[in-house]
Amino acid sequence: MFRADSLPVDAFASGVVTTPEELALADGSYQVDIALEGGSGRASVESPAQVTVRDGEVTATIVWSSSNYDYMKVADVRYDAVIENDRSVFTIPVTCFDWKMAVVADTVAMSQPHEIDYALRFDSASLSPAAS
C-alpha cells in the first residue's frame, strides 16, 4: 500500500505542504494544535504542543498520554523519551505543517516492544506565541 505521508516533504509540489521555512518563524517558543492518527486509538498526545524555533530549526515537544513509549523515530532518526509526570515526552523535529508527518513510536505496553506507525498533523493556523 502506498502512503503519501511516508514521502519526504521535498517530494511534494510547492504549496501542497507548508514547510517551516515558508512560515518564516522568528526564534522563540510557540504553541500549535496537533492531531494524532494511527495505532489502536487508545493513545493520545497533548494538544496544543510546545514548539521551539532556534536558528531556523523547528522542534516540538510531544507529550503522550502514557509512559509506555520509549522512543520515537522521525525520518528513521531515533529520539528517546524522557518520563515526566508518568508520561512519555519527546522533542522531535517538525518537518511540515498542515500535512500528516509520519512518525514511529515504540511501545513497551505489550509483552514485546512494538513499533507503531502514527501521523502527526501540526496546524499552522493555530500557531501562537507561547505564554512566558
Domain boundaries, the chain: 18-126
| First-last CA distance in the chain | 45
What whole-number distance in Å separates Cα of residue 47 and Cα of residue 55?
24
CB 29 within 8 A of CB 57: no
CB 73 within 8 A of CB 104: yes
- At residue 22, the 3 state secondary structure works out as helix
Q: What is the pLDDT of residue 12?
A: 46
pLDDT beneath 70: ranges in the chain: 1-16, 132
Residue 11 is given by DSSP the state: G
Predicted TM-score (pTM) of this structure: 0.86
CA angle 95, 99, 102 (to 5 degrees): 60
Give me the CATH topology for the region 18-126.
Answer: Immunoglobulin-like (2.60.40)
At which residue does the C-alpha cell 522533542 appear?
91
Q: What is the pLDDT of residue 131?
A: 82
